């Protein structure tokens, strides 16, 4: 009956929803002692094996947990749990690090009474240090997944590093007359420049989706969400986005051939974009979220490249921190984006204030522009007048605190 209260294909955000809002998912988070006092080890658990898909960092240097998770997904395309630690990335740790990641999977398999290939693992934190496996073992033995709000919050806390807030969201839609829920949790604050930072995102859904189609949808959506955020231009060794679909909602199997496939893709897109924007907003030392929208590009790829180049420019980011409407920095970043542009046909708008019209500077009130740029969310719009391509990217300003945080990251 719950499904009848929502129109088919309509997306609804669930304000209090989380990673365990979809049917059949549970979570937990504990303090294993990897960090001084905060929770540092968590798990997401599905009551039954869930079809899964994942995308990973494109860095040539990939952490051991990514290789182990790839092995798990390769077995059947399904997992039932993912165990995650913070404080230590288990990256650049050689054969010992790989064996530790395998052992972490085995510890979780034993605790949850699952085959080891139904376990994915993820780690985040300092690169080049070994996991304390005694603490990992004892911590995993404390994990007792449940479906309460506090359990979700415990997991969301356990995966954080320099993040200042938890990052989660939930949406619902109706497909096949069934209410489909999708929840998400993520961490990421610095070392964020995904080409699929340290960035981890986990998505759960009770929809029934075959793993191949799920992988196809995730790859498509990632390119327009997580791959369009940047905090500091650095890509991490541990980036991963993992989706689990356990089918508990009772819909018929979804694939591109299903008449309501796009409703599922939109659900996944909304979830991933929401998490991506939360990561950008919480950039280390950030005081504001910046959105750049590029229209009129020769194609969508050009628009996305241009938007990400602008939002990732240190000069643009520092201008936004100083509430300085220096549009010269915006067009400077645009010129080196690789997008096809006509330098005589560029429009730039900050908020509602037109700065440049077909490359002609426009008079504007500095006081009005400064006032707008003091907001917590800032939008820059660029029209290239080259075609119908469009794209967005998200980032944050660059503050004094970013340097302070990263100058003493290991201490």
Catalytic residues: 198
CB 125 within 8 A of CB 238: no
Q: Which residue has the tokens 């204030």?
A: 353
Q: How far apart are CA 92 and CA 79, in angstroms?
A: 26
DSSP secondary structure letters along 55-95: EE---SS--HHHHHHHHHHHHHSEEEEEEEE-SB---S-HH
Q: How far apart are CA 49 and CA 46, in angstroms?
A: 7
CB 91 within 8 A of CB 63: yes
C-alpha to C-alpha distances, 391 to 127, 365, 377, nearest whole angstrom: 33, 28, 18
CB 14 within 8 A of CB 152: no
Q: Where are the alpha helices (DSSP H) in 149-299?
A: 149-158, 211-224, 261-281
Angle, alpha carbons 281-282-287 (nearest 5°):
70
Q: Give kind and range of the element (H or E) at residue 184.
A: strand 178-187
* Closest to 229 (Cα-Cα) out of 139, 291, 177: 291
Tell me the pairing of strands 289-297 and 377-383.
Answer: parallel
């Amino acid at each position: 009956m719950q499904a009848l209260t929502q129109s088919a294909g309509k997306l609804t955000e669930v304000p209090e929803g989380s990673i365990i809002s979809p049917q059949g998912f549970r979570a937990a988070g504990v303090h294993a002692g990897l960090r001084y006092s905060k929770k540092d080890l968590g798990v997401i658990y599905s009551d039954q094996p869930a079809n899964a898909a994942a995308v990973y960092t494109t860095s040539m240097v990939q952490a051991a947990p990514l290789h182990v998770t790839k092995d798990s997904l390769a077995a059947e395309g399904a997992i039932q749990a993912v165990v995650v630690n913070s404080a230590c990335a288990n990256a650049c740790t050689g054969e010992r690090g790989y064996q530790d990641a395998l052992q972490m999977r085995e510890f979780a398999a034993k605790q949850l009474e699952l085959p080891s290939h139904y376990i994915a693992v993820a780690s985040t934190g300092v690169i080049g240090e070994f996991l304390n496996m005694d603490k990992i073992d004892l911590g995993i033995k404390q994990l007792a997944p449940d479906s309460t709000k506090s359990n979700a919050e415990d997991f969301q806390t356990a995966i954080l590093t320099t993040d200042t807030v938890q990052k989660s969201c939930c949406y619902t839609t109706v497909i096949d007359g069934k209410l489909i829920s999708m929840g998400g949790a993520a961490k990421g604050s610095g070392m964020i420049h995904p080409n699929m930072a340290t960035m981890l995102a986990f998505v759960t859904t009770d929809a029934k989706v075959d793993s191949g189609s799920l992988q196809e949808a995730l790859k498509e959506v990632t390119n327009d969400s997580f791959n369009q955020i940047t905090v500091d231009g650095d890509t991490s060794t541990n980036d991963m986005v993992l989706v689990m679909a356990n089918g508990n909602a009772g819909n018929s199997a979804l694939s591109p051939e299903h008449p309501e496939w796009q409703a599922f893709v939109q659900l996944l897109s909304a979830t991933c974009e929401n998490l991506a924007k939360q990561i950008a907003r919480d950039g280390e030392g950030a005081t504001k979220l910046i959105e750049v929208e590029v229209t009129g590009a020769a194609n969508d790829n050009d628009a996305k490249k241009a938007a990400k180049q602008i939002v990732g420019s240190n000069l643009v980011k520092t201008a936004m921190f100083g509430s300085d409407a220096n549009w010269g920095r915006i067009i400077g970043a645009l010129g080196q984006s690789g997008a096809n542009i006509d330098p005589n046909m560029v429009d730039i708008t900050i908020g509602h204030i037109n700065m440049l019209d077909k490359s002609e500077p426009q008079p504007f009130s500095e006081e009005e522009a400064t006032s707008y740029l003091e907001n917590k969310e800032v939008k820059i719009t660029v029209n290239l007048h080259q075609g119908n391509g469009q794209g967005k990217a998200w980032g944050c300003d660059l503050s004094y605190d970013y340097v302070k945080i990263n100058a003493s990251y290991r201490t």
